[in-house]
Amino acid sequence: MEADNIAGGKEPKRLPVWACIPLFIVILFILLGLYGTLARGCLSLVLGVEARHPGVVGYIILEASMLLAVLTAAIPMLRFERRPFSDLGLSLKGHVKGLWYGLLMAILLYLFGFGISFVLGEIEVTGFQFKPLDLLGSWVFFLLVALFEEILMRGYILGRLLHTTMNKFLALFISAALFAFMHIFNPEIAFLPMLNLLLAGMLLGASYLYTRNLCFPISLHLFWNWIQGPILGYQVSGNNFTTSMLTLRMPEENVLNGGAFGFEGSLICTVLMIVFTILIVWWGEKREAISLAVPRSC
C-alpha cells in the first residue's frame, strides 16, 4: 500500500513496490551487462589490459560503468513513478556535515576495531609503504563503489520502501538483506561475514531513515572500505584490489580478526556495528521527537 499522496487527496498511478523494485533490478542488470561489456572493451582495446587483472585505473573504469548503469536505471524509473530525482538523496544542501560525520564514524570504528585486534595480538603489522598515487587511485575507486551501492541500496530501494506504509525498520532490514545478498559470491564468504554485511547494510541505512539523504552513508561507506584496505591492509569483503600502506599478518585466521575475508568477517566488527547502529537510531528517534515537540507557526 502506497503512503504518499498528491494535492487533492488523489494518489498518482504507480507500480506497487513489489513490482517496481524487481523491474528496476532487471533494468539495472541489463545495463550493467551492456556498460560492463563496453568498459571491458575499452580496457582491452585502449589500455591493453585484461578485465580480470585491470589494475587501479581499470577498476575505476569498471566501477564507473556500474555507477552509470544505476543512474541510467534509476532516473527513468523515478520519472515513471512521478518521483523527483531528489528522492535519491544526493543533495549536498544542508547535509555537508554528514560527509564529515561519515568520515568520523569510519575512523572511530577502526580506532576501536583495529586497536582491539592489535592489543589482543590477533593482527601484527609487519611492513609499511607510502605510495600517494596508489592511495589516491584507491580512494577514487572506493568513492565510485560507495556511490554505486548507496544509490542502489539506500537511495532507490530503501527510499522506495519508505514511500509505502511499511514499518521503517522492516524496510531497513529488507534493504540490508539485499545488500548482504549482493555480496554472496565474494571470496571467503561465510555465515559471520554475511551477518556482518547485513549489519553493515543496517548501519549504512539507519541515518537515511531520518534524513532521506546519502551524504553520511556514502562517506561512511567510502572511508570504511578505504581505511580497511588501502590504509590498514585488510581484505575488503574478501577482495584485495590495491596495495596497502600497512602490511598485516594474522598469527591465526579466526572469528576475532576476520581471517581471509577481512575485518568485516570478525566478531569485533559485529559488536561495533550493532553499537553504532543503535547510536544512530537513538539519535534519529531523539531528533524526530524534538521536531514533533516543537509547535509549528501558523
Q: What is the DSSP string of 98-165?
A: HHHHHHHHHHHHHHHHHHHHHHTTS-EEEEE---HHHHHHHHHHHHHHHHHHHIIIIIIIIHHHTTBS
Reading phi first (left if > 0) and then psi (alpha if -120 to 50, else beta), residue 248 is in: beta
Asked, for residue 169, whether it belongs to a domain, the answer is yes
Asked, for residue 198, whether it belongs to a domain, the answer is yes
pLDDT band per the 50, 70, 90 thresholds, residue 13: low
Domain that holds residue 55: 7-293
Measured between alpha carbons, how far is residue 238 from residues 152, 186, 254 in Å? 21, 6, 14
Asked, for residue 298, whether it belongs to a domain, the answer is no
Asked, for residue 1, whether it belongs to a domain, the answer is no
Using an 8 Å Cβ cutoff, are 188 and 263 in contact? no
pLDDT of residue 293: 65
Using an 8 Å Cβ cutoff, are 256 and 283 in contact? no
Interatomic CA distance for residues 288 and 266, integer angstroms: 33
On the question of pLDDT at 298 being above 50, the answer is: no
Using an 8 Å Cβ cutoff, are 160 and 17 in contact? yes
pLDDT tens by residue, 20-59: 999 999 999 999 999 999 998 888 777 766 666 678 888 9
Predicted TM-score of the model (pTM): 0.91
pLDDT of residue 8: 46
Interatomic CA distance for residues 234 and 230, integer angstroms: 8
Using an 8 Å Cβ cutoff, are 209 and 191 in contact? no
Which DSSP category does 94 fall into?
T
User: Of the candidates 193, 200, 172, which has an alpha carbon nearest to the alpha carbon of residue 237?
Assistant: 193
Asked, for residue 2, whether it belongs to a domain, the answer is no
Average pLDDT over residues 184-196: 95
Asked, for residue 108, whether it belongs to a domain, the answer is yes
Domain count, the chain: 1
Using an 8 Å Cβ cutoff, are 230 and 138 in contact? yes
On the question of pLDDT at 269 being above 60, the answer is: yes
